[in-house]
């Protein structure tokens, strides 16, 4: 059960994808596995087994399908690397998923392990809708696949429930067969290099860590803006809404990474303990501090957008929120009195995810007799796109009369490092290595739902906002001072 | 005696340059006056009177000479602006400078003031060698030119003495005829926009001010590096040396602006009080903390450089220092225990003036189990060339394995503002407005000499260093920890 963490290579294992012909596999998992293979991160004997209920594939045909999937995902393919990756692939048709089907899967797994001299390490990636979790886990368990001669790890994707009760049921289901140490819950935001770097940034830069508290920070804003609408996902989205789709998972995780205390070491248990402590310190939300919105029609740059209620598959009286803005507090020594603002929405003016740390203002009187409009320092950490850091500061404009201007100290990842890897690449490699730091622990999921459960039971009024704007006016009234920092639209 | 500060225009006045055909006038004063005129900073009736002992000029011929001087100084001349500026010029030949000569100068000044309806405001700029100060000031006083119906201001250039005693004599001489409030001592470094901005930067950016103390700062380095040698100024330089030429004035002023407390307002008295307090808080230098150097021969990039002792006009046994490195402390609440390092030299690898604030290091243990080479945060404020700010910080490199890299948050003035004005432009306008903040006060001059007087009396051993290197090895031993930050040579 040991893993060879941090040594650049992973244990020999069988990577099983349940849902091996699905959308997630095609768009994310296969490209990530290809890149890991290309970079030499996979041990020679690692094999990949795609499992699906249906599909007219044998191994060879699946390998062809996988190559086409890579090409379709715009992966720049090196022929030798592609062959080396795709040759690892196997396919198994599960059928209806009855007991015999899972027995057959177990036999197939054993056969591959024997043929390729694998030690029995298994990674079970459930790339399937959450409704299929119970039957799948039960089937795996009945066939003895929740245990193995080596390590067994299970990977699940969000949503981790749709409220506190369902999240608890899901956790119980998993824990019937797997330890938490075997469980990898993917919130792909935690796999982004920019989010992982947020921790490194805070803890390796003494000057920022010393500013990162209520004495120096006036407020923090976390925005995840999408310019797209629901893109044909109408019936799905209408059941879910922005709170469940974005806030409870992605924004909460960004909040935790931004606000958490320093762990004694960058190890999974320590890091996740600190994140859970942040969630525990959030008092119940005040309904006055929540704004829901739903996009109406609108236009921008010569393009016209339909209202949410006019989209395909949306009931004409839907009250599903496509925009959420929340003001909350973290009642601990570091953050007491500092408002945190979370905001997400569809059909906003741009696509951007960023964290804004507004620092307290300087004493202005020392600039007398000049009257000058000093702006407070602000750190903007952009997670996507154009990832980087912008520290807004005041600088004297040259010449007379005396005048301060706001300028930026800038850093852009792409200037230093080129393109960043996809989150799945990072996360799959972590799973293979048994590194859980950037996966969501069961208690985090439940603590996050605990915050939002009252809102789900008694949702606030939904304000309409014109498409291609920054949401309803009510969102601005949430702010104790200042304004939302709206990232300009990229041109 | 009032001035119309900060209103963009200056009082009508007569700007008298004693030394009106000299090098400083040609290279600095006339170009600065031209630019001020072009920008509309001079009131319509302002006149300029160049005074020289000799020179075969009348007003018209001097105007031609001035135009040629502007062209030679690479000033981009707008014909109309040039005409408007040069038409303000007058010339007066002082002759031997006896009593009658100064009476004639007084008559000429009165005549210009009458002709141009000037209110008697006079700015007396002594663009002459310090040896000529006593006789000139005496001559002006005898002719009644130290008083006028309006305001009278006197401008002197460094050196302000060559040790504490001579500086006191010079201050006494000036104060016999002028108040300190009428006296403008130019250290042109204080006129640089980047130096003036250092104050604005500190006091308008709360996050940096909160870091600017012994709790957060490990050490501060101030370097003024020249790549040139003595460029034909041998006999002059050999009498002066780097301590008097650079350290006592420019470096000390940069030290004061970097270390001073916040003044209650950006007014001359307050700012200069705070600078004087810094100087008062510097305990006597420990001889162990001073390194003198003199450049030997050397070569770099295919160029060969002579040793200082081989330069024209240098005695072969000269012990004049061309390099100084000093470690000093400021014993006040803000800085106790933080070493300040000053360094200057000729024939170093590059030309650059910059201030490096080394912040304390973060706690490294939180990065376990990874071993990583965290570098401490550092702010590099470059005053010339390529003026700007670089905040060195640690950032996680993308992909595995975990690795921190040092990158920079960058700001460059030229990106935001284009070319910066010459220091003289800023300083002359300040003088016209009666704004003394960025001029050196009498007590500052004496306090600075007080620090270095023991060194002048008992100079340390002079270490040879190869030309085009960063000085003698002994300079590195001064550092309590870390290394000198050597700005890379610009290519």
Q: Map residue B388 onto helix, strand or coil.
A: strand
Q: What is the pLDDT of residue B3?
A: 37
Q: Give yes or no for B438 touching A (CB within 8 A).
A: no
Q: What is the pLDDT of residue A491?
A: 58
Q: For B203, which of A201, A204, A362 is closest by C-beta distance?
A: A362
pLDDT in tens, B139-181: 999 999 999 999 999 999 988 999 999 999 999 999 999 999 9
Using 50, 70 and 90 to split pLDDT, how confident is the model at B8?
A: low
Record: contact B266-A368, CB cut-off 8 A: yes
Q: Kindly tell me if the per-residue pLDDT of A2 is higher than 60.
A: no
Active site residue A116: no
Using 50, 70 and 90 to split pLDDT, how confident is the model at B2?
A: very low
Using 50, 70 and 90 to split pLDDT, how confident is the model at A298?
A: very high
Q: Kindly tell me if the per-residue pLDDT of B9 is higher than 60.
A: yes
pLDDT in tens, B174-196: 999 999 999 999 999 999 988 98
Residue B415 CB neighbours (<10 A): 12
Using 50, 70 and 90 to split pLDDT, how confident is the model at B403?
A: confident
Q: Kindly state the percentage of chain A with pLDDT values over 90.
A: 77
CA A27 to chain centre: 16
Higher-pLDDT residue of B80, A437: A437
Cis peptide before B401 (omega within 30 of 0): yes
- Distance from C-alpha of B467 to C-alpha of B323, rounded to nearest angstrom: 11
Range ranked top by mean pLDDT from A96-100, A205-209, A463-467, B364-368: A463-467
- Distance from C-alpha of B355 to C-alpha of B258, rounded to nearest angstrom: 8
Q: What is the pLDDT of residue B6?
A: 41
Is residue B30 within 8 Å of residue B48, measured between CB atoms?
Answer: no
Q: For A360, which of B197, B206, B429 is closest by C-beta distance?
A: B206
* C-alpha angle B265-B267-B273 in degrees, rounded to nearest 5: 90
Which is it for the CA torsion A475, A478, A483, A489, positive or negative?
negative
- Distance from C-alpha of B55 to C-alpha of B92, rounded to nearest angstrom: 9
Our CA-based measurement puts residue A410 at a distance from the nearest CA of chain B, in whole angstroms, of: 5
- For residue B405, the chain A residues in CB contact (below 8 A) are 416
Q: For A409, which of B209, B411, B426 is closest by C-beta distance?
A: B411
Closest CA to B260 of B244, B242, B280, B241: B280
Q: What is the pLDDT of residue A259?
A: 98
Which contiguous run of DSSP H or E holds residue A298? strand A298-300
Record: contact B197-A402, CB cut-off 8 A: no
Q: Give yes or no for B421 touching A (CB within 8 A).
A: yes
Q: For B6, which of A206, A211, A370 is closest by C-beta distance?
A: A370
Q: Kindly tell me if the per-residue pLDDT of B311 is higher than 50.
A: yes
- For residue B204, the chain A residues in CB contact (below 8 A) are 362, 367, 372, 374, 393-394, 404
Average pLDDT over residues B452-458: 94
Whole-number Cα distances in Å, A9 to A6, A433, B47, B203, B238:
8, 8, 79, 51, 65
Q: Kindly tell me if the per-residue pLDDT of A93 is higher than 90.
A: yes
Using 50, 70 and 90 to split pLDDT, how confident is the model at B341?
A: very high
Give the side-chain half-sphere CA count within 13 A for A410. Answer: 13
Q: What is the pLDDT of residue A264?
A: 87
> Taking chain B, what is the end-to-end CA distance rounded to the nearest angstrom?
51
Q: Kindly tell me if the per-residue pLDDT of A250 is higher than 90.
A: yes
Output the average pLDDT for chain A: 92
- Distance from C-alpha of B434 to C-alpha of A400, rounded to nearest angstrom: 14
Q: Kindly tell me if the per-residue pLDDT of A5 is higher than 60.
A: no
Our CA-based measurement puts residue A94 at a distance from the nearest CA of chain B, in whole angstroms, of: 34
Q: Kindly state the percentage of chain A with pLDDT values over 70.
A: 96
Least confident piece of the model among A61-65, A145-149, B38-42, B134-138: B38-42
Q: Among residues 24-43 of chain A, which lie with CB inside 8 Å of chain B?
A: 39, 41
Helix A268-280 and helix A252-259: axis angle, to 10°? 100
Our CA-based measurement puts residue B35 at a distance from the nearest CA of chain A, in whole angstroms, of: 11
Closest CA to B363 of A238, A202, A153, A318: A202
Q: Give yes or no for A299 touching B (CB within 8 A).
A: no
Residue B443 gets the label, from left (phi > 0), alpha (psi -120 to 50) or beta, of: alpha
Using 50, 70 and 90 to split pLDDT, how confident is the model at A366?
A: low
Record: contact B411-A410, CB cut-off 8 A: yes
Q: What is the pLDDT of residue B409?
A: 95
Q: Is B307 exposed, middle or buried (0-12, 13-18, 19+ CB in 10 A)?
A: middle
Average pLDDT over residues B44-54: 93
- For residue A263, the chain B residues in CB contact (below 8 A) are 366
The catalytic position among B250, B329, B461, B463 is: B250
Q: Give yes or no for B397 touching A (CB within 8 A).
A: yes
- For residue A37, the chain B residues in CB contact (below 8 A) are none
Record: contact B366-A404, CB cut-off 8 A: no
Question: In the numeric block, which tokens belong to residue B156?
Answer: 């002197």
pLDDT in tens, B461-478: 999 999 999 999 999 999
The catalytic position among A35, A41, A90, A250 is: A250
Using 50, 70 and 90 to split pLDDT, how confident is the model at A1?
A: very low
Give the start-end residues of each E strand in B387-438. 388-396, 404-412
Q: Kindly tell me if the per-residue pLDDT of A457 is higher than 50.
A: yes
Closest CA to A381 of B409, B321, B380: B409
Residues 6+ apart with CB under 8 A from A473: A463
Whole-number Cα distances in Å, A182 to A49, A123, A150, B174:
19, 9, 12, 83
Q: What is the pLDDT of residue A369?
A: 64
Whole-number Cα distances in Å, B198 to B205, B307, B344:
11, 36, 20
**For an interface test with B, which of A41, A196, A205, A414 has the most B Cβ atoms less than 10 Å from its Cβ?**
A205
**For an interface test with B, which of A3, A196, A398 has the most B Cβ atoms less than 10 Å from its Cβ?**
A398
Our CA-based measurement puts residue A248 at a distance from the nearest CA of chain B, in whole angstroms, of: 27
Our CA-based measurement puts residue B399 at a distance from the nearest CA of chain A, in whole angstroms, of: 7
Average pLDDT over residues B133-137: 93
- Distance from C-alpha of A157 to C-alpha of A178, rounded to nearest angstrom: 16
- For residue B361, the chain A residues in CB contact (below 8 A) are 206
Which contiguous run of DSSP H or E holds residue B210? helix B206-211
- For residue A208, the chain B residues in CB contact (below 8 A) are 377, 393
Question: In the numeric block, which tokens belong to residue A375?
Answer: 């702006």
Q: What is the pLDDT of residue B19?
A: 95
CA A1 to chain centre: 28
Our CA-based measurement puts residue B183 at a distance from the nearest CA of chain A, in whole angstroms, of: 21
Is residue B61 within 8 Å of residue B52, measured between CB atoms?
Answer: no
Q: What is the pLDDT of residue B404?
A: 87
Helix A164-177 and helix A133-142: axis angle, to 10°? 10
Q: Is A29 exposed, middle or buried (0-12, 13-18, 19+ CB in 10 A)?
A: buried
Q: Give yes or no for A213 touching B (CB within 8 A).
A: no
pTM: 0.92
- For residue B403, the chain A residues in CB contact (below 8 A) are none
- Distance from C-alpha of B182 to C-alpha of B196, rounded to nearest angstrom: 21
Q: Map residue B292 onto helix, strand or coil.
A: strand
Q: Give yes or no for A401 touching B (CB within 8 A).
A: yes
Q: Kindly state the percentage of chain B with pLDDT values over 90.
A: 77
Q: What is the pLDDT of residue B448?
A: 97
Is residue A247 within 8 Å of residue A326, measured between CB atoms?
Answer: yes
pLDDT in tens, B422-432: 999 999 999 99
Whole-number Cα distances in Å, B425 to A466, B30, B32, B42, B65:
52, 10, 4, 12, 20
Question: In the numeric block, which tokens belong to residue A170?
Answer: 């899901």
Question: In the numeric block, which tokens belong to residue A114?
Answer: 């024997």
Q: What is the pLDDT of residue B5?
A: 41
């Amino acid at each position: 059960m040991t893993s060879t963490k941090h040594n650049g290579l992973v244990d020999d294992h069988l990577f099983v994808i349940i849902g091996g012909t699905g959308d997630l596999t095609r768009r994310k998992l296969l490209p990530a596995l290809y890149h890991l293979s290309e970079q030499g991160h996979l041990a020679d004997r690692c094999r990949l087994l795609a499992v699906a209920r249906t599909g007219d594939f044998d191994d060879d045909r699946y390998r062809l399908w996988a190559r086409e999937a890579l090409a379709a995902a715009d992966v720049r393919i090196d022929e030798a690397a592609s062959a080396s990756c795709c040759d690892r692939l196997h396919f198994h048709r599960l059928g209806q998923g009855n007991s015999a089907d899972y027995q057959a899967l177990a036999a197939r797994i054993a056969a591959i392990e024997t043929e390729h001299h694998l030690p029995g390490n298994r990674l079970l990636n459930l790339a399937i809708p959450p409704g299929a979790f119970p039957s799948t886990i039960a089937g795996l368990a009945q066939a003895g696949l929740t245990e193995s001669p080596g390590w067994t790890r299970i990977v699940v994707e969000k949503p981790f429930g749709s409220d506190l009760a369902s999240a608890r049921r899901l956790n119980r289901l998993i824990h019937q067969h797997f330890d938490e140490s075997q469980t990898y819950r993917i919130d792909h935001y935690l796999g982004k290099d920019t989010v992982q770097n947020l921790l490194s940034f805070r803890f390796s830069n003494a000057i920022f860590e010393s500013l990162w508290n209520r004495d120096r920070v006036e407020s923090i804003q976390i925005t995840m803006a999408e310019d797209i609408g629901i893109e044909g996902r109408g019936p799905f989205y209408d059941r879910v809404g922005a709170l469940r789709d974005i806030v409870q998972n992605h924004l909460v995780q960004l909040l935790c990474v931004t606000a958490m205390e320093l762990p004694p070491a960058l190890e999974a248990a320590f890091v996740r303990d600190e994140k859970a402590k942040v969630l525990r310190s959030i008092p119940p939300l005040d309904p006055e501090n929540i704004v829901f919105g739903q996009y109406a029609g609108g236009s921008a740059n010569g393009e016209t957008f339909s209202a949410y209620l006019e989209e395909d598959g949306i009931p004409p009286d839907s009250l599903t929120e496509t925009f959420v803005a929340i003001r909350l507090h973290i009642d601990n020594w570091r953050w007491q009195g500092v408002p945190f603002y979370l905001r997400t929405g569809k059909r906003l003016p741009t696509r951007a995810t960023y964290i804004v740390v507004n620092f307290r203002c300087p004493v202005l009187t020392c600039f007398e007799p000049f009257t000058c409009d000093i702006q407070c320092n602000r750190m903007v950490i952009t997670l996507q796109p154009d990832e980087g850091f912008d520290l807004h500061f005041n600088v004297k404009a040259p010449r007379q009369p005396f005048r301060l201007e706001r300028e930026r100290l800038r850093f852009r990842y792409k200037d230093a490092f080129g393109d960043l890897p996809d989150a799945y690449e990072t996360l799959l490699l972590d799973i293979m290595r048994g590194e859980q730091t950037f996966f969501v622990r069961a208690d985090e999921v439940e603590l996050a739902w605990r915050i939002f459960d009252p809102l789900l039971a008694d949702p606030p009024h939904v304000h309409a906002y014109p498409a291609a704007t920054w949401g309803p006016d009510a969102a601005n009234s949430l702010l104790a001072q200042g304004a939302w920092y709206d990232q300009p639209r990229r041109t």
